[in-house]
Structure 1
Amino acid sequence: MITIPITLDLLRGALSIEPTERGLRPHRLPDWARQQYDDGQLEMAESQPSGVRLVFRTPATVIELETLPTKRDYVGAPPRPEGVYDVLVDGELVAQASAPGGDVITIDLATGSSTTQPGDPSTLRFADLPAVPKTVEIWLPHDETTELVALRTDAPVEAVRSGKRVWVHHGSSISHGSNASHPTGTWTALAAAQAGVELVNLAFAGSAFLQPFFARTIRDTPADLISVKLGINIINTDSLRLRSFTPAVHGFLDTIRDGHPDTPLLVISPILCPIHENTPGPTGWDLTALAEGKLAFAATGDPEEVAAGKLTLSVIRTELACIVAQRATDDPNLHYLDGRTLYGEADNAAHPLPDDLHPAAETHETMATRFTDHAFAQKGPFSQ
C-alpha cells in the first residue's frame, strides 16, 4: 500500500486544512475567518465536513482511509447515528462505511455542560474496486467532525480537475444536512449531482445569522453560482430585529458583490417551519419531548412582540422579497426564491418536520429536485 499525502488539491469543498496532533482537520472556513469568532456551536458546525470529499483518479483496487471522528452524545436522548462515508466511482455510489470509536463529546442539554472522552482512529477499507483508471470520491460525514489521519492505496493517485461550474451555497442546518442519512443525501449534494455542478457547502448548523466573515468568505471563494438561504437561525437565536435585519442583509449582499459583481446570486428565504411562521424566537428545546427521550424544538417568543420588530418567518420572507426586488433593478443577476417552494404547507401535511425544525431524510430528496427544477431550468437563475 502507498501512503498518499493529503493536500488541498485532493480535497473539494474545504477551504483550509488544520494540522492536528493526530492528522489533518478539513475546515469549511479559511483560517482568518476562524480567528474572528469564539463560538462553540459554529466551531463544531464548521468542522463538520458537509460537502467535503477527497477526489482523485487512480487504478487502485484497494483504498484505505484512516480517520478520527468526533461524535456527540446527548444525555437522555437516543444515540445519534454514526457518521457515514460515501464512496463514489465515476459518479456512482459504490460503498458506504462508518468509523467506530473516535472522540466522544457528551452534552447535557438541560445544563449546557459537556465532557470529552478521547478515542482512537479507525481505518476504513474499500476493496475490490475496478482495476482501471477511474475517478474516486470519498465524501466525509456531513454531521461528524473528522480528522484525516492517512490515505493509503495499492496504486498511485493523481488530482483531477472537474471542469464543472462551481456552486457556492450558504445556509443553516437544513442546508448543512440535518436529518439526512448520508453525505451525498443532503439536499445540497443531491441538487449539485442533479445539475452537474461542483458544490462548496458553506452552510453551518445553528450558526447562520449574517456574520460579515461569511460574506467575505463567499466574496473571496471562486464561484460560478452563488445562493444564500437566510433567516431561520436569526429567529432561532433571536439575534436581530427588523430594523437591523434589513441593513444587515444589504451589507451581506454588498460584500458578496464586491468579489462577484455579475455572478448569478440567488437569495432563498426559509422553508416552512410551523412553530416560527408567526411566533418569534428564540427557539428552545421541547423539554416534554426530551423527557420522553426525543429531540424536538419549540418556539419560545411572544407573537405580540412582532409589532415591535421581533422577527418571524413570515416577516423575513416579506422583507427578503422586498430587498431583492429593490436591488434587482440595478442587479439583473440577483434572484429570489421563496423557501416554501422547496417545502411548504402540503409537504408539512404529508411529511411533518420530525423535530419541528428540520426536514426528514426523504424530504431532502424532494427539496433537491425542486431546487434543481427551479434554479437550473432553461430560464432559471442558474441556467447556462
Structure 2
Amino acid sequence: MAFEIGTAANHVDLFERLVTFLSTGLGAAENWQVLRHTGVSEIDASSFVVNWEPWTAFKGPYHAHANGWATAVGQYANSWLRWKMVQPFDIARLTLVGSATANQSPRDFTLQWSDDGINWTDRKVFTGVTWANNEAKEFTIDGTSPGAKSHWRIFVSANGGNTTSTVIRQVLLPEWQIYQDFNHARRPAVWFKAPGMTGFDPCYINFQLYDRPTNDYYNIAVTGCTGFVGAAQFDDQPGALTALAIPLWNQPIPYWFSGNGQRVIISAKVDTAYISSYAGKMLPFGTPQQYPYPLLIGAPLPSASGTRYSDSAVNLPYKGNRTTLKLRKNDGSWIQPQAWPYSKTTTFRDTNGAYPLLPITLYDTSNTYGVLDGIHFVTGFGNAVENTVTVGTETHVVLQDVTRNGLSDFFALRIG
C-alpha cells in the first residue's frame, strides 16, 4: 500500500499526478499498467468570442459542446488554435469541420509543431481550400515526419473572405479513431489494469477528465470494467459501469491518495469542500472463488454531468444507499448497497478522547458483501476535519462529507 499527500496546481495536474502515482508510485508488484493514455492537456487560441472558445472545437464525450472555435471579431487572419498532446504524437491525418457559414472556414492554413510551445515549425501548408457549409474535410499530412511531438497548432493566414471571424467547429485525428479520437477524448483519459494483490486477479479502472470553463466545472469521470478492448471507447469497455464523476476546480487542490494493487482512494479539498472517490476492489466476505471480482466504484456525482463541486447534490458516496456508490455482483449486475454504520441512526462518540474506527460494511436485504479497504467510519463528536487518528502504527486523516459536518458526516482515510 502506498500514500501520497500534496497540492495539485489544478484539475489537470491532479489527473496527471494520479496517473503517475498509480503507474509508478505503488511499488513494482502493485503498480497499475497504463493500457492507454490519450487526449490533450492544454487548449488555447490567439483569440475567441464567448461560447466559441477554443476548447469547444475538441468535443465530448460528456456534454459535447455546441459551436466550435471562432476568432474574436476582426481577428480572422494570422490566427491560431493550439493544443498539447498528453502523449507525443506525429499527426499524419487531420480532419477539420468548417463553419456553418462557409467563407468563415480556413482557406490558407498551416499545421505546425513545436518542442516548447513557443517556437513553431511547419508540418504541412494548405492553400486555396474551399468549403461547403458545415463540411468536414480530411487532410493527409505527408512529407518528412518530425517524430512524435507534444505541441501542435493550426495557423490560419486567411479564411474564405469573411471579415468577421475564422471558425473551426471541430478538430479530429482520424488515426486515433481505432484507439481514441478527440471526438471522445479531447481531455486526458487513461485506461488502467490494476494487477490485484497476487498478480493474477487484475481489475480495470478508467478515468477521463472533462471540463467546461465557461460553466465553471472541471471534473473527472470514473468507471470500472471487466477487461480492455483496444478498439472500444471509454464507456464501451467490457462490463463497464456508466461513469460516475469527481467534481474539482481549476485552482490549487490539496489531495490525499491511497492506493494498492487493486484499488485507489482519491480525496481532495476543493475550495472548502472535501471530495472523495473509491475505485477498485472492496474486501469481500468470501474467498476469491466465491467472489472473484468485488469491484466498487464510488464518487460524489452519480453521472458524468456538468455539475460544479459546490452543487448541493455533491455527496460522500461511502454513506451507501446512494446512486454515487455502485458494487458489482457475481452476475455482472451493479447494485446500490447500504453502508453500515451510516445506515443506522445510532450516535457514536469518542471514548476519553480516543476515536475508534469502524469498518464501513456493505450490505443489502439479501447479503452482507464486505468492507471498504483503507476507509473507516469515525464519529464527528468533538472532532474536526483534517484531524489525524493513530491506531497502532497506522495514521488516518479525518475528512468530511463535502461541507457537511454533523456527527455522521465524517470518515477516516488511512494515510500511513
TM-score (norm 1): 0.30
Q: Which has the higher contact order (CA 8 A, sep 6+)?
A: 1
Q: Which has the larger radius of gyration?
A: 2
Higher strand share: 2
